[in-house]
Chains A and B, each alone.
Chain A
């Protein structure tokens, strides 16, 4: 009766899937961007990914959720640090979160979880980032080009969806597991930080046969076709920071974009397709491309080569519907800002889409077993 034995499943489980994790990430360019540029959909791998195949190792040079296929459920949580939190305290929080991330990623409850039955599902990812306030509290410089997103003409930003000292992006195969993971992570942060905002969305990244597809936003557009493919050189150059202390990290811009579904529905199909510059049924580019089409304005060639890697999560609440838009790039100022500025000026979609929230975070490099999130910055 004194304690139960178990097999060391946790370690075995992810050690056994290191190889398939990489393959999953490569197949999963499905996960990304649509309102951006052009690229034919990837040929779908034949096998249906099973839950166990989706288990990623928590370890490596990068946090694994970034390049992973878009999860069915995404929760993005911003937190504000309590006033007393300094570099040492932030280190304690990140070490506690490291333990949580190791457990959640491999399908175990977080240490001290009082409802461990809610943490049985595998395939959870947790991505952790620091906002400007946390960098200041810890006296750590952000990566090169990390800075605020300047106000855009079409923005209607609200405080309740903007800013934050810390961010957690939790991906899960279904909502109960995601909600419980968020609860445990926020609970373990409570000596250090309070939740500021929380945005939840979903993504359907498989077709009826279970094969990976790019997925669609709530306008019905295939959304993410233009993304660089995870695993490619282009992806690595687009996303990962290279400077030593932040090497393997990235930056994240989270935008809450409300979408006027009712107004959109009054357009003809041709008008809808001309706004984005893609056919609705398969996402293929239109020829010729209408001059203000989103897919044209977002092309790197239109923005001095600036490119981003984007992921989306559709939201639909009692208030409105839209997209929790996440953009990953090595440099906010060098990549995200020029792309967003160009879209703000010319994008036809601005008529039906409006940013309600905006926040920037420096996403921590990955960590190896025995190490912890942020150790290269806070040690």
Chain B
């Protein structure tokens, strides 16, 4: 039902040979965990991969600071090894950082994540408003609802993913995304 060759349009998986090999051997040992993940050659790379679900980017139209915004998604890691999202980039942003919300002196502040965002083996990690997110700064232009943003995500296993994320309106969390160096970013 799932043809890996057809994954190219929205989520392109660029697994290097080493990661692919790890994935294939890993799957052979975990059949009891997921009986649905039939480990034949055609599906092993798809079911044993890192996948991005539900990506979206908050529109900047009408926001306080339209030079920055955030991207959200779910990262699923169906491999046997923990992986870390170490870097993200986009042609639409001059600078991209991985951020988290953390408590400091009783208030929630946004800060860059030390060492990237870890996704446990056979686990998933939400990047969502109020939590981890991909911070897009120095935007090259306004991002209106209905636009699309291309993102490249790089992982600790050497693999990378290209994602096309729709830009959507979002009214909550207004003002939560401030530029680094402002008071709310002091550690």
Contact code string A7-30 (vs B, CB < 8 Å = 1, else 0): 111111001101000000000000
Number of interface residues of B (CB under 8 A): 57
* List of A residues within 8 angstroms of B1 by Cβ: 18, 57, 59-60, 368
Q: Are A368 and B6 in contact (CB under 8 A)?
A: yes
Given contacts A2-B131, A2-B132, A114-B171, contact A368 B2 (CB under 8 A): yes
In the bound complex, what is the Cα–Cα distance between A108 and B123 (angstroms)?
A: 16
Chain B residue at minimum C-beta to C-beta distance from A116: B128
Q: Are B145 and A190 in contact (CB under 8 A)?
A: yes
Q: Does B120 sit at the interface, judged by CB under 8 A?
A: yes
Q: Does A369 sit at the interface, judged by CB under 8 A?
A: yes
Q: Are B124 and A5 in contact (CB under 8 A)?
A: yes
Q: Does A52 sit at the interface, judged by CB under 8 A?
A: no
Given contacts A12-B36, A112-B168, A370-B7, contact A6 B146 (CB under 8 A): no
One of A98-106, A216-224, A272-280, A287-295 contacting the partner: A98-106
Q: Are A4 and B131 in contact (CB under 8 A)?
A: yes
* List of A residues within 8 angstroms of B128 by Cβ: 3-4
The distance from the CB of B169 to the nearest CB of chain A, in whole angstroms, is 8
Q: Are B125 and A3 in contact (CB under 8 A)?
A: yes
Q: Are A6 and B55 in contact (CB under 8 A)?
A: no
Q: Does B138 sit at the interface, judged by CB under 8 A?
A: no
Q: Are A5 and B123 in contact (CB under 8 A)?
A: yes
Q: Are A95 and B125 in contact (CB under 8 A)?
A: no
Chain A residue at minimum C-beta to C-beta distance from B119: A5
In the bound complex, what is the Cα–Cα distance between A259 and B94 (angstroms)?
A: 61
Q: Are A191 and B146 in contact (CB under 8 A)?
A: yes
Which residues A31-72 have CB closer than 8 A to chain B?
57, 59-60
* List of B residues within 8 angstroms of A9 by Cβ: 124
Contact of B74 among A10, A95, A110, A372 (CB under 8 A): A10
Interface size class for chain A?
Answer: 35 or more
Chain B residue at minimum C-beta to C-beta distance from A93: B146
One of B23-31, B45-53, B152-160 contacting the partner: B45-53
Q: Does B177 sit at the interface, judged by CB under 8 A?
A: no
Q: Are A370 and B8 in contact (CB under 8 A)?
A: yes
Contact of B126 among A1, A6, A18 (CB under 8 A): A6
Q: Does A188 sit at the interface, judged by CB under 8 A?
A: yes
Q: Does B54 sit at the interface, judged by CB under 8 A?
A: yes
Which residues B145-173 have CB closer than 8 A to chain A?
145-148, 164, 166, 168-172
Contact of A8 among B73, B76, B148, B166 (CB under 8 A): B76
Contact of A371 among B6, B58, B126, B131 (CB under 8 A): B6
Q: Are A3 and B56 in contact (CB under 8 A)?
A: no
Q: Does B127 sit at the interface, judged by CB under 8 A?
A: yes
Q: Are A5 and B126 in contact (CB under 8 A)?
A: yes
B residues at A contact (CB < 8 Å): 1-4, 6-12, 34, 36-37, 46-47, 51, 53-56, 58, 72-74, 76-78, 100-103, 108, 113, 117, 120, 122-128, 131-132, 144-148, 164, 166, 168-172
